């Protein structure tokens, strides 16, 4: 992939095109292929998706100005496959949880500021947010 005069290997492209125009972006079509391939063979409700970018138009993809910058491909995947849990980041100011159908969405918050989420899986899924520093 060539962007801004730099060659970026596929393994380093992490999230869909956004307002920041970084070199590590891929198209929504590429994102759809990646998540669909990752989800093949799993039953509804028996999958956990860890994605840099959260699903679009949720509480965990909203920047401070109110704009949603999540992935439409991730959202379509969640609506179709209904994973039990989606863990994401990307939108630092949107740390928190939301639901998309039966799927629990978690934005862990910015690791660079010590934020993380402690997630317990069992009959229920519990989420507690904490900071290292």
Q: Which residues of the chain have pLDDT under 50?
A: 1-14
Q: What is the pLDDT of residue 85?
A: 97
Residue 15 confidence (pLDDT): 53
Residue 132 has, within 13 A of its CA and on its CB side, a CA count of 10
The per-residue pLDDT for range 61-73, each reduced to its tens digit, is 999 999 999 999 9
Topology annotation, domain 2-131: Purple Acid Phosphatase; chain A, domain 2 (3.60.21)
Q: Which of 25, 127, 39 has its CA nearest to residue 78?
A: 39
What pLDDT does 9 receive?
42
**pLDDT score recorded for residue 19:** 60
> Domain map of the chain by residue range?
2-131
């Amino acid at each position: 992939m060539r962007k801004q005069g730099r060659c970026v290997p596929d393994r380093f492209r992490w999230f869909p095109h956004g307002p920041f125009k970084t070199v590590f972006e891929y198209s929504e079509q590429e994102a759809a292929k990646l998540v669909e391939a990752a989800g093949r063979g799993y039953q509804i409700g028996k999958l956990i998706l860890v994605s840099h970018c959260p699903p679009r138009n949720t509480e965990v993809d909203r920047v401070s100005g109110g704009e949603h910058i999540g992935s439409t491909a991730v959202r379509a995947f969640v609506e179709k496959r209904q994973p039990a849990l989606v863990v994401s980041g990307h939108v630092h100011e949107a740390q928190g949880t939301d639901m998309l159908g039966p799927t629990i969405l978690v934005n862990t918050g910015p690791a660079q500021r010590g934020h993380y989420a402690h997630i317990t899986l069992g009959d229920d899924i519990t989420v507690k947010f904490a900071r290292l520093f």
